[in-house]
Amino acid sequence: MKSMVILAGAVLCAGSSAAQFNYDEAKVPKYTLPPALKMADGKPVKTVKAWEMQRRPEVLELFKREVFGRSPGRPKRMSFHLVEESPKALGGLAHRRQVEVRFSGKADGPRMTMLIYRPAKARGAVPTFLTLNFRGNHTVHADPAIRLPHSWVRGRTKGETVNNRATEKGRGVAANRWAIETILKRGYALATIYYGDIDPDFHDDWKNGVHALYPKPKPDGWGSVATWAWGLSRALDYLETDRAIDHTRVAVMGHSRLGKTSLWAGAADQRFAIVISNNSGCGGAALSRRAFGETVKRINTSFPHWFNDNFLKYNDNENACPVDQHLLVALAAPRPVYIASAVEDRWADPRGEFLSGKHASPVYELYGLPGLPASKQPAVNTPSMGTIGYHVRTGKHDVTNYDWAQYLTFADKHFKTKNKK
């Protein structure tokens, strides 16, 4: 295996140079996007029925076959187990639940733990942000009652893990990304799961996590992104049983590779009411054909387990792919989608993320809905919100309080409107 180095937020093979990756708009290659409202045989899509019955299934199938892979359905023996609950968590602000989802129904089999905070004083079922986290549920808040993950964890600070097992030193280390108190005070619940519970984030030849229950994937089988998205659907299966959660108002949100995951989860499972992509970049919201910053070849080289094997065909060959990321956004229609970028996160191609929203807009307009209102990429820290929302903020590749403020406003806009109907 080639040694790896980290450079400017990108994972590069030793011997590579940053010059290999384009950050110049003038050098973006010419490209033609697959039209959202035209069938593969060239027939135009003029009605919602034609989109829903013909074009949408066609696009969804192409993404399954060529990019993310096919996932199984809900396991027949899957079970839910309440492992901890407190009605007076976080100083009385929250009601906390921790629920174990056992994929095979067995306590010693593949399983994930969901941490749920909902407003303690809420009356009735509340809308919810459902997310995956990178370092364990215990890292999202310093709350000492949060369980340490049972799964393999990649530590990022000294002492955070020992032999890739989480320790108390990791408690609350990522709290700045989660704005939990703000979310609760705005009347929303937050449900989060450590993504490594579902599938560890390294190429393990499909032997760990939930993959242990299934045969090794074929070339069009589920990669890790599709597997994490599958786990989000299993979390939603549980939320449908929780009377304190309004399962018809669940927004799936993810950052970086988990932003790619939230987009695919929202495309593959139409139960998600809002889809939020934070700095998702290549394979997420950014148009692959722009080859700006991270490219298909680079992502397939650095992270060969994320997508299916068929996606390898498009290394340095993006124009041959029958889909691009605007179609991934369009698969959420008519449900709202929010796309967020950061000025300094050029690796994720902020302009390409904006353009995906713009090129998905015709599908929303087919429903009589506004897509992304901005005619050009908005100024920094100036959100544009239609049924598709977008902002580019100051700063780097991260999730900030500013991002959460926009997501809460966007959710208010759409969920409160829904309640009035």
User: Which residues are identified as catalytic?
Assistant: 256, 397
Q: Provide the CA 251 distance to its chain's centre, in angstroms.
A: 11
- The structure tokens 């991002």 sit at 403
> How deeply is 80 buried, as exposed, middle or buried, from its count of CB atoms within 10 A (0-12, 13-18, 19+)?
middle
Q: Phi then psi for 364, rounded to 5 degrees?
A: -65, -40
End-to-end CA distance of the chain: 57
- Concatenating the DSSP letter of every residue in 130-171 gives EEEESS-GGGS---TTSPPPSS-----STTSEETTEE-GGGT
Q: Which residues are CB-neighbours of 357 under 8 A, at least 6 positions away?
A: 285, 326, 329, 337, 339, 371, 372, 388, 390
Beta strands in 290-333 (DSSP E): none
